[in-house]
Amino acid sequence: MRDNIEPIAPALEYFGTITAVVDEPVELGAMHGGAQRVIPITGGTFVGPNAGGEILPGGADFQTLRSATVTELRAKYAIRLDSGHCITIDNFGLRTGTEEDIAALVAGDPVPAERIYFRCVPQLMGSGPWGWLSERIFIGTGTRHPDRVVVDVFLVA
Would you state the pLDDT for residue 2?
A: 67
Check residue 54 and give its pLDDT.
Answer: 98
Does some domain include residue 30?
yes
98: Cα within 13 Å, side-chain hemisphere: 8
Output the tens digit of pLDDT for each of the chain's 157 residues.
Answer: 567 788 999 999 999 999 999 999 999 999 988 999 999 999 999 999 999 999 999 999 999 999 999 999 999 999 999 999 999 999 999 999 999 998 898 788 889 989 999 999 999 999 999 999 999 999 999 999 989 999 999 999 9
CA distances from 57 to 22, 76, 88, 97, 102 (A): 10, 11, 12, 29, 26
In a domain, 138, yes or no: yes
Q: Which domain holds residue 122?
A: 12-156
Number of separate domains in the chain: 1
98: left (phi over 0), alpha (psi -120 to 50) or beta: beta
pLDDT of res. 146: 86
Which CATH number does the domain housing residue 106 bear? Answer: 2.40.160.20
Task: Judge whether 4 lies within some domain.
Answer: no
Res 23: pLDDT: 95
pLDDT score at 5: 87
Q: Say if 1 falls within a structural domain.
A: no
Which residues lie closer than 8 Å to 94 by C-beta, 6 or more apart?
Answer: 70, 71, 72, 73, 117, 118, 119, 120
In a domain? residue 66: yes
pLDDT of residue 155: 98
- Is the Cβ–Cβ distance between 16 and 153 less than 8 Å? yes
3 assigned to some structural domain: no
Question: Would residue 103 count as lying in a domain?
Answer: yes
Q: How far is CA 122 from CA 7, 32, 65, 125, in A?
A: 24, 24, 20, 10
User: Among residues 93, 80, 89, 72, which one has the least CA distance to residue 128?
Assistant: 80
Q: Do the domain assignments include residue 2? A: no
